[in-house]
Structure 1
């Protein structure tokens, strides 16, 4: 049985260190959640801060996500749009709902319904005309 040389030991040790370093790092979170779920829950319970304060908090969250190139979670833009509607800013709500629809195509039916309501009763889409 041949003796292992110090070079073999060092090579093996380096290989183990590289593999251990790779195994220790997993993928990061898919979305930047932060306090969004808690804030949304508080809003539903009507225990939250004022709509203006909620908007400021969520806009700061969105800015931080943009700065770190992180993705906003599902429903974030939709929730923020609802806050803007409550604050009398339908144009900003429209922008956010369209962005939610783009980011999460599975939200399209709900976002389309909100956008249609935003347009008022005069708005019709294909298939809505009873003719």
Structure 2
């Protein structure tokens, strides 16, 4: 009879641990504040640039939200925003956004420098 009570106690303990483990996984916070970033990139690619002004506003709003939440934006966020700025004729803002991308993600330096050099070659 005692082995049955031990089995039940062990089963309950295992079940309780499993619940805690699953609960811990379900509440894990994302490393980055994605906000509307993914839908904006999709829209940009789908429409070939499309309504860049609206996308700029959405991404700028995402920056404000992330700042208010003290959250990090994902890699590529400022790079994409820079491309949108360039498409809307704001090359100074594009350079600022790209420099911010390089500051946050130094591994992007080569790509960002490529974008900046192309911009200069094209006279933007």
Bigger helix share: 2
Aligned position for 2:24? 24
Aligned position for 2:95? 94
Aligned position for 1:125? none
CA distance in 1: counterparts of 2:61 and 2:91, whole angstroms = 20
**Runs of 4+ with deviation above 4 angstroms:** none
Give matches, 1:1-131, under 5 Å.
24=24, 27-46=28-47, 50-120=51-121
In the TM superposition, residue 93 of structure 1 has moved relative to its aligned partner by 0.2
CA RMSD of aligned residues (A): 2.4
In the TM superposition, residue 24 of structure 1 has moved relative to its aligned partner by 3.3
Question: Do 1:39 and 1:48's aligned partners in 2 also have CA atoms closer than 8 Å?
Answer: no
**Number of paired residues?**
102
Q: 1:44 to 1:70 in 2, by over 3 A?
A: same
Normalised by the size of structure 1, how large is the TM-score?
A: 0.68
Unaligned runs of 5+ in 1: 1-15, 123-131
Unaligned runs of 5+ in 2: 1-15
Q: 1:28 to 1:96 in 2, by over 3 A?
A: same
Where relative contact order (Cα < 8 A, 6+ residues apart) is larger, the structure is 2
